Amino acid sequence: MRSDKIKSGNERAPHRSLLKALGYTDAELKRPLIGIVSSYNEIVPGHMNLDKICEAVRVGVTMAGGTAFMFPAIAVCDGLAMGHIGMKYSLATRELIADSTECMTLAHGFDGLVMIPNCDKNVPGLLMAAARLNIPTIFVSGGPMLAGKVAGEEKSLSSMFEAIGKVAVGELSEDELAELEDNACPTCGSCAGMYTANSMNCLAEALGMALSGNGTIPAVYSARLRLAKETGQQIMDLITHDIKPLDIMVKAAFINAISVDMALGCSTNTILHLLAIAREAGIPLDLALIDSISAQTPNLCHLAPVGATHIEDLHTAGGVHAVMKELDSLGLLNTEVITVNRKSVGENITGVINRDEEVIRFAARPYSRTGGIAVLYGNLAAEGCVVKRSAVVDEMLVHEGPARIFDCEEDALKAMTDKKIESGDVVVIRYEGPKGGPGMREMLSATAMLTGMGLGEKVALITDGRFSGASRGAAIGHVAPEAAVGGTIALLEEGDIISIDIPMNQLNVRLSDEELEKRRSTWKPLEPEITDGYLHRYRHLVGSASEGAVLSID
């Protein structure tokens, strides 16, 4: 066993004495040692129930003959970090989560791992760690939040952010805002729409790294505890057969996950994360491949914020496997790859039924013939950028308008609240990329403000930063090269005409090559505001969003 390095032989008697100081017996130490990586904390609503999930996993591990040890992983709540300096740290924690999990696992010689994430960056961070460590590993999330209800309508976190814009234009009173505040997020769990957390938990299932229901069983359902126990038992089976993450996360599994991503209409953040996870797994993956998969994958779901349905509805309709069943009917899945239950994808989806064709459209009548996310290129994004195509109204799929230039999110928000943004404008928020932010902030406050003010279907927003899964509208992010390294977005001036053509995968500025070169010759980057601490180191090591915004010493 891998754990023999800390528990076997006379030379490890000191190590055993330390384990016995924890209360473990000789009998327990003879069993495989399982690390339970829990993201439990008391500040993230999606994580407040993870102590119960952890205990259920521990029970499952013990039932199957293992000995469990919990250790923590950090997690930032993107909702709480939104709109201030805290959001600069969110994406950057993904690397800390992967690195610290690697350190804890190798330092303590675990035979296997059960990962318990839930919200935005700790799901991909732990998947990155799983690929890097490549010891038997399985995931079980804390589950999604139930939707809130106000005046008979279902609401979620995106409703709250959009309400701020409605108050600003007088469409919503402060009393109505308070009622929404009290009811939009009614339970523990990852926020109820197809935002980044739920997107990644569904994709962990599609990748084969979690049991069925991981992405969709609501956090407050007892079925979530049963799933956790089954997960604890299953890690022991994976150890017995020495099935490791890189046996599961093969290239075909990533292609399956991207297809599911496009069918579900997931957050654009999944592109960053899938690129980063694939890199750890040694799998070649790039934006061009992702876009080619999107071009042939129908969009089958319009979950909040795009539509009125939520993750609980997806679960009732049959969950991720029902979506995969629809894709398989079109020949879009590799059904031979194995998953953490040691069954193939094909075996897992046999007999699965789509129980609600309004939540999961039949493959024959999709919302669109192409996937939820599109990759755009052009002179404004030579390395590419992404847009949640399924969240863009038809009128904005092709758009030209004058650029309104802002060098940070705060300046753009002030212009919005001062009513200086007009119908037809293209808001450009730059120097918010991985290096420029640093940390590549989400722009939910900006997109939600535009939507709440009634401009969400009339104004485009372009940034080298990124968007929350709760964003909707013509929100184009991950523009690369970013402004901080001299990308074209840094050369834009107020009033430049920006041309967006999502069906043709194009993003351009109506300027000649000569004019762009003239501007480039006099361009100087902004001085960074943060010059010390973790983000200072992060800024120097992080790479392009087009490659997943991963750290590199190259």
The helix/strand/coil state of 486 is coil
* H/E element, 537: helix 533-541
Determine the angle formed by the axes of helices 50-63 and 222-240, rounding to 10 degrees: 40
Find out whether 46 and 198 touch, Cβ atoms under 8 Å.
no
Rounded to whole angstroms, the Cα distance separating 505 from 159 reads 29
Work out the angle at residue 421's Cα, subtended by the Cα atoms of residues 509 and 520, and round it to the nearest 5 degrees.
30
Residue from 156, 468, 471, 546 carrying the catalytic annotation = 468
Alpha-carbon distance of 120 to 203, in angstroms, equals 12
Contact present, 183 and 146 (Cβ < 8 Å): no
Q: Report the distance separating Cα 101 and Cα 126, nearest Å.
A: 7
Provide the 8-state DSSP code for 393. Answer: -
Cis upstream peptide for 366 (omega within 30°): no
In sequence order, what are the beta bridge partners of 385?
Answer: 376
List of residues 6+ apart from 230 with CB closer than 8 A = 60, 211
Which amino acid does the sequence have at 539?
R
For this structure, is 468 an active site residue?
yes
In sign, the C-alpha dihedral spanning 213, 118, 269, 193 is positive
Tokens representing residue 536 in the block: 């200072």
The SS3 of residue 321 is helix
Beta-carbon neighbour count of residue 175 at 10 Å?
8
Quick one: tokens of 231? 């997960």
Buried residues in 335-357 as b, exposed as e (16+ CB within 10 A): bebbbbbeebbeebbeebebeee
- Give Cα separations from 454 to 390, 428, 457 (angstroms): 19, 18, 7
DSSP string, 25-76: -HHHHTSPEEEEEE---SS-GGGTTHHHHHHHHHHHHHHTT-EEEEEE----
Q: Catalytic site residues?
A: 468
